[in-house]
């Protein structure tokens, strides 16, 4: 995304908002570890618990509801984002229920609606609380200042790189002067890789259960295809995340250097 100047009004500086530290180093190993833990946890749960039966019943119920089921899911997802509940499980649920493509197409706009609603709450309703939280963290202050200076480009990179928690980012960016439409567009584009990854992971839950506890012979090729596709998706997502983190760190550091001069 091209750089943009902050829009609308400029905010009042946060108390103690001078940049006191730069973002930490690349969190590549943390991303790998988190993804690995999710995959292992799901695999163990599928092997030890009747999750496939439970999820199958839930999916059947949602499908029986038709359009009402989609609407119910959308409402639950938006509320989850606003109250800061991690949306990864819900995104995996969409992939499981509707497949990777339709799950992605469903979650992608819904997640933007939830993020934008939280953004507006942070700007107009919870401003003081969010400002107090940001002022307590040198890293958050550095990111906050960079967003103030560079707008949508930084929001896009923040969505790709897990420097700031997803749900808190929605509220924190509301303190800056970035426009609502630009925030929504940058968030939508930046969240796509993660949304696609979790929707794909959700769609593979039945295959993952079979791969962990195979129930027949002649499954080697199918299991190899499954694990190969899963590994390719994870590696591609982590690769994009690492590139985004490097670009984000460079931009935040540039803003910090400019503030010191």
Q: Which residue has the higher pLDDT, 215 or 58?
A: 58
Q: Helix axis angle, 220-260 relative to 205-212, nearest 10°?
A: 120
Nearest partner of 98 among 65, 75, 53, judged by Cα: 65
Reported confidence tier of residue 122, pLDDT bands at 50, 70, 90: confident
pTM of the model: 0.60
Q: Given a cut of 80, is residue 54 above it in pLDDT?
A: no
Reported confidence tier of residue 134, pLDDT bands at 50, 70, 90: low
Maximum mean pLDDT: which of 124-128, 170-174, 251-255: 170-174
Q: Which pLDDT value is given to residue 102?
A: 92
Average pLDDT over residues 211-216: 47
Q: Which pLDDT value is given to residue 12?
A: 46
Reported confidence tier of residue 14, pLDDT bands at 50, 70, 90: very low
The whole-angstrom separation of Cα 241 and Cα 159 is: 9
Average pLDDT over residues 41-45: 69
The residue count for the chain = 261
CA distance to 39, 46, 214, 217, 224, per residue, from 220 (Å): 20, 19, 10, 8, 6
Q: Which pLDDT value is given to residue 85?
A: 79
The whole-angstrom separation of Cα 82 and Cα 126 is: 12
Tens digit of pLDDT for each residue in 79-110? Answer: 888 888 778 888 888 888 888 899 999 999 99
Q: Which residues of 153-189 are buried (b: 16+ CB within 10 A; e: fewer)?
A: bbbbbbbbbbbbebbbbbbbbbbbbbeeebbbbbbbb
The whole-angstrom separation of Cα 200 and Cα 219 is: 21
Find tokens 């760190």 and name the residue: 249
Reported confidence tier of residue 59, pLDDT bands at 50, 70, 90: low
Is residue 157 a contact partner of residue 244, using CB atoms and an 8 Å limit?
Answer: yes
Q: Which pLDDT value is given to residue 202?
A: 81
Q: Which residue has the higher pLDDT, 255 or 56?
A: 56
Q: Given a cut of 60, is residue 223 above it in pLDDT?
A: no
Q: Which pLDDT value is given to residue 23?
A: 42
Reported confidence tier of residue 117, pLDDT bands at 50, 70, 90: very high
Q: CA quadruple 176, 182, 185, 190: dihedral positive or negative?
A: negative
Average pLDDT over residues 34-59: 67
Q: Which residue has the higher pLDDT, 119 or 219?
A: 119
Q: Which pLDDT value is given to residue 17?
A: 39
What ranges in the chain are assigned the alpha helix state H?
A: 28-48, 51-65, 67-82, 88-124, 127-135, 138-150, 152-160, 166-173, 180-203, 205-212, 220-260
Nearest partner of 167 among 217, 205, 114, 126, judged by Cα: 114
Q: Given a cut of 90, is residue 113 above it in pLDDT?
A: yes
Reported confidence tier of residue 111, pLDDT bands at 50, 70, 90: very high
């Amino acid at each position: 995304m091209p750089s943009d100047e902050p829009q609308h009004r400029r905010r009042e500086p946060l108390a103690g908002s001078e940049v006191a530290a730069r973002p930490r180093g690349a969190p590549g190993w943390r991303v790998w570890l988190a993804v690995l833990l999710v995959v292992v946890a799901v695999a163990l749960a599928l092997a030890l618990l009747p999750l496939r039966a439970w999820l199958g019943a839930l999916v059947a119920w949602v499908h029986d509801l038709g359009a009402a089921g989609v609407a119910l899911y959308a409402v639950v997802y938006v509320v989850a984002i606003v109250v800061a509940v991690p949306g990864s499980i819900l995104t995996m649920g969409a992939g499981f229920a509707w497949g990777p493509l339709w799950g992605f197409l469903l979650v992608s706009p819904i997640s933007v609606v939830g993020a934008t609603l939280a953004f507006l709450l942070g700007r107009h309703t919870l401003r003081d609380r969010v400002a107090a939280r940001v002022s307590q963290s040198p890293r958050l202050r550095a990111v906050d200042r960079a967003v103030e200076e560079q707008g949508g480009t930084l929001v896009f990179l923040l969505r790709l790189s897990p420097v700031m928690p997803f749900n808190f980012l929605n509220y924190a960016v509301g303190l800056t002067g970035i426009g609502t439409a630009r925030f929504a567009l940058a968030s939508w584009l930046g969240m796509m890789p993660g949304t696609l990854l979790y929707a794909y992971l959700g769609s593979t839950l039945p295959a993952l259960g079979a791969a962990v506890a195979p129930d027949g012979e002649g499954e080697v090729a199918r299991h190899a295809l499954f694990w190969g596709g899963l590994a390719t998706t994870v590696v591609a997502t982590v690769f994009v995340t690492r590139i985004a983190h490097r670009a984000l760190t460079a931009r935040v550091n540039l803003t910090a250097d400019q503030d010191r001069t």
